[in-house]
A and B are shown apart, each in its own frame.
Chain A
Amino acid sequence: MTKELEHNFVELLEKHQNIVHKICRLYTNNQDAHNDLFQEITIQLWKAYPKFRGESKFSTWMYRVALNTAITLYRKSKRSIKTQDFDSVLFRIKAEEYDDTTEKQLSVMYAALHELNDIDKALVFLYLEDKNYNEISDTLGISEVNARVKMNRIKKKLRSILNP
């Protein structure tokens, strides 16, 4: 039974691991910390998995547990402080179809994204992942209206960063 549970879990995690990696990339500044957070999220997912009833999609459930770990449960390890921080902007690959101006805009936006506080990051992350406001408010435990208002404020902020 446990072996089967383990097998099913690892299979699902392998398939949906991009979600976790994206959260790690957003909430950490170097590869060591990224790996550390990935490890902790995996443990939290595995601990919660026996109670996963399949009422929601595995990925939806995963967003919730992974974000909760990144925002609340994860304690930064000392190891992650020693290593050199990476530049989030350099970490992304450039898309050929964009002109220089768009590339520059994107770089600025990624940098701004990393500067947001943990809650705002979660909000933007879910938005970028194409989640609707109902799902966003459900995951964070805030009202839909407030999620919308906050998102509009963040958009405005980004716009002002891009067009000072």
Chain B
Amino acid sequence: MDELELLKKDWKKQEVNLPHYKATELYPMLLKKSSSIVKWIFIISVIELGLGVVLNVFTMDEKFWRDLENLHLKTAIIILYGVSYLITFVFIYYFYKNFKSISATDSASQLMRNILKTRKVVKYYILYILISAGITSLLVFIFVFMYPPAELHVNPDKINWYKVVALGVIITSIILLVIWGIYSLLYGILLKKLKQNYRELKKLEL
């Protein structure tokens, strides 16, 4: 006899051994809150999408604008912020669109694909935030040397610009890489099981 056929026969017999909930026990279960991964992904993603906006609002005090004016960067930063809000809006739109497409009634592979697609939007958003923060920091760094405040005692004419730009790029890259590394690690832990199962499913398609 085929091994699995034997198992199948026994499998059916095991049904009598299963627990059984009465209707009165099932009703309260409908009221409980879900703790599914999709719910967590939604909460974390909304926090992440809102993070850029919140950070902008908190850093934009009067001193910030005064400093920017001294560095001749006010107009550039206003334009950058405008573009950034527009891009954030596009990310939020795609996040929402993908999130709405997640349905437990899809096939297993479609469901996983939709969840990963939704998370990917947020991942790219964070990448975009980091890159734009990097470019802005670099810009500010260079402009500080171009229009140095009096307390810095720096003469812009005597500066080795190659060194300044190289230093700026290196420092910014290291900081961004560390942040990206930590982020990817946390993101990896959250989606470890999902990615593993998705890989297993994809393996079947080879």
- Whether the Cβ atoms of A18 and B18 lie closer than 8 Å is yes
Q: Which residues of A contact B76 (CB under 8 A)?
A: none
- Whether the Cβ atoms of B105 and A139 lie closer than 8 Å is no
- Whether the Cβ atoms of A72 and B115 lie closer than 8 Å is yes
**Does B79 count as interface, using CB distance less than 8 angstroms?**
no
- Whether the Cβ atoms of B3 and A109 lie closer than 8 Å is yes
Known: A17-B21, A73-B104, A75-B37. A6 touches B204 (CB 8 A): no
- For the complex, would chain A's binding face be called helix, strand, loop or mixed by DSSP majority? helix
- CB proximity to A under 8 Å, residues B57-86: none
A57 to chain B, nearest CB (A): 14
- Whether the Cβ atoms of A68 and B106 lie closer than 8 Å is yes
Known: A6-B30, A42-B29, A75-B40. A140 touches B107 (CB 8 A): yes
Q: Which residues of A contact B19 (CB under 8 A)?
A: 21
**Does A127 count as interface, using CB distance less than 8 angstroms?**
yes
A25 contact from B18, B22, B30, Cβ within 8 A: B18
Interface residues on A, range: 35 or more
Q: How far is B197's CA from A42's CA once the two chains are assembled, in angstroms?
A: 22
CB nearest neighbor in B for A65: B104
Known: A44-B104, A128-B11, A146-B204. A22 touches B35 (CB 8 A): no
Interface residues on B, range: 35 or more
Q: B185-202 vs A: 1/0 string, CB under 8 Å?
A: 000000001101100110
Q: Which residues of B contact A58 (CB under 8 A)?
A: none
Chain B interface (Cβ < 8 Å from any Cβ of A): 2-4, 6-8, 10-11, 13-23, 26-27, 29-30, 32-38, 40, 103-112, 115, 193-194, 196-197, 200-201, 204-205
A-B contacts, 27 of them at CB < 8 A, read A17-B20, A22-B18, A38-B21, A40-B34, A40-B35, A40-B36, A42-B29, A65-B105, A68-B106, A69-B36, A71-B197, A72-B194, A73-B111, A77-B35, A91-B17, A93-B13, A93-B16, A98-B10, A110-B7, A117-B197, A118-B193, A119-B201, A130-B8, A140-B107, A142-B205, A150-B204, A162-B3
- Whether the Cβ atoms of A21 and B107 lie closer than 8 Å is no
A139 contact from B29, B35, B108, Cβ within 8 A: B108
B115 to chain A, nearest CB (A): 7
CB nearest neighbor in A for B24: A10
B4 contact from A65, A139, A140, A155, Cβ within 8 A: A155
- Whether the Cβ atoms of A109 and B7 lie closer than 8 Å is yes
Q: How far is B201's CA from A143's CA once the two chains are assembled, in angstroms?
A: 11
Chain A interface (Cβ < 8 Å from any Cβ of B): 6, 9-11, 13-14, 17-18, 21-22, 25, 38-40, 42-44, 46-48, 51-52, 61, 64-65, 67-69, 71-75, 77, 91-93, 95, 98, 102, 105-106, 109-110, 113, 117-120, 122, 124, 127-130, 138-143, 146-147, 149-150, 154-155, 158-159, 162
- Whether the Cβ atoms of A117 and B10 lie closer than 8 Å is no
